[in-house]
Amino acid sequence: MKRIVIFASGSGSNAENIHTQFANENIEIVAIFCNNDKAGVIERANRLQIPLHLFNRNEFNNTNIVDQEILNYQPDLIVLAGFLWKIPERLIQLFPNKIINIHPAILPNYGGKGMYGHFVHEAVINSKEIKSGITIHYVNENYDEGDYIFQAECEVTSNDTPETLADKIHLLEFAHFPQIIKKIIQ
């Protein structure tokens, strides 16, 4: 059985989609780690009966508490699914080439600190781009600069709003993220 730990800060829709996609596979989400005590992913983790670990910025950045909790699960892969904090270098060194992220744009454009969710979609639309998409990449010490694993595109029309573009991006995430995770982990 391959073991995945997911980090999420928001609704947890990608976490639930990954869980659903792997229900009959030899892959299990063994824990969800969350930095936001109001995040929707908490309810999803409880409903799906996935162990949940809440932590604060100090525990994450300045102690080994989170590291030890992750190590207890012996993950084959750590998946960032809407997780908004930069990963400390010590965690990257502890899990080399075992942490991946999904970004809601075609990197290297529209990445970096502060570029998440609607901020990305607003920037894409304001720049009058004709394409957006997703990038799945390994995590390194810089926001959104790790080696790319996979990219997929969607059309941006003149009628798109940040909300309609987000809907298109979610479709790409749901279609591709579990499949790429499966390829990496097997």
Counting Cα atoms < 13 Å in the Cβ hemisphere of 29 gives 30
CA dihedral 95, 96, 98, 101 (to 10 degrees): 100
Q: Is the dihedral of CA 174, 180, 183, 184 positive or negative?
A: negative
pLDDT for 112-169, tens place per residue?
999 999 999 999 999 999 999 999 999 999 999 999 999 999 999 999 999 999 999 9
Cα 130 to Cα 14: distance, rounded to the nearest angstrom: 25
Q: What is the pTM assigned to this prediction?
A: 0.96
Q: Domain 2-185 adopts which CATH fold?
A: Rossmann fold (3.40.50)
Catalytically annotated residues? 103
Domain boundaries, the chain: 2-185
Asked if pLDDT for residue 35 goes beyond 90, the answer is: yes
